[in-house]
């Protein structure tokens, strides 16, 4: 399973990124969508879309967090990272910092795809691919935009 992971689009989603992630099995947006039409663009692509609300989002219908199991792995999605992952999580995916991250703390892997449109602290503009196989190692690939 291939999952395109994006965050912090802040009203902009370049066409070449949309084209690149169109064949994903799922798309996860980790908040700060800002303009709901961005999600409309992603939904038209076809893959299942999961989204969490960021600190710049005004749509109360979007959840602040998502917790679910997929391919034998337990995921927690949240825009602003906390220091501690919810109990039982294997992976904590977040945005907010605009800086890519791949770090394991107390057995939980924290992942951030960075930011497509406004990277921070010298980081490249980026998104990521998450590749899952049932109960096998998870692959995380950062893609520069």
Per-residue pLDDT of the chain (145 residues; tens, 9 = 90+): 999 999 999 999 999 999 999 999 999 999 999 999 999 999 999 999 999 999 999 999 999 999 999 999 999 999 999 988 999 999 999 999 999 999 999 999 999 999 988 888 889 999 999 999 877 789 999 999 9
CATH number of 2-144: 3.60.21.10
CA distance 53 to 87: 21
Domain boundaries, the chain: 2-144
Q: Is 100:86 a contact under the CB 8 Å cutoff? A: no
CA of residue 28 relative to chain centroid, distance: 5
117: nearest Cα among 3, 14, 5:
14
Give the H/E segment covering residue 44.
helix 37-45
Global confidence as pTM: 0.96
């Amino acid at each position: 399973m291939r999952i395109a992971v994006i965050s912090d689009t802040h009203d902009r989603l370049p066409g070449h990124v949309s084209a690149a992630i169109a064949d994903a099995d799922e798309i996860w947006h980790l908040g700060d969508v800002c303009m709901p039409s961005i999600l409309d663009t992603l939904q038209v692509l076809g893959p299942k879309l999961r989204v969490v609300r960021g600190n710049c989002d005004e749509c109360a219908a979007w959840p602040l967090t998502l917790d679910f199991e997929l391919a034998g792995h337990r995921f927690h999605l949240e825009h602003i990272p906390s220091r501690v992952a919810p109990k039982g999580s294997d992976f904590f995916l977040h945005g907010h910092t605009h800086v890519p991250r791949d770090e394991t703390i107390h057995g939980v892997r924290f992942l951030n795809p960075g930011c497509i449109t406004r990277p921070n602290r010298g980081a490249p503009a980026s998104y990521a691919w998450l590749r899952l196989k049932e109960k096998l190692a998870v692959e995380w690939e950062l893609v520069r935009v």
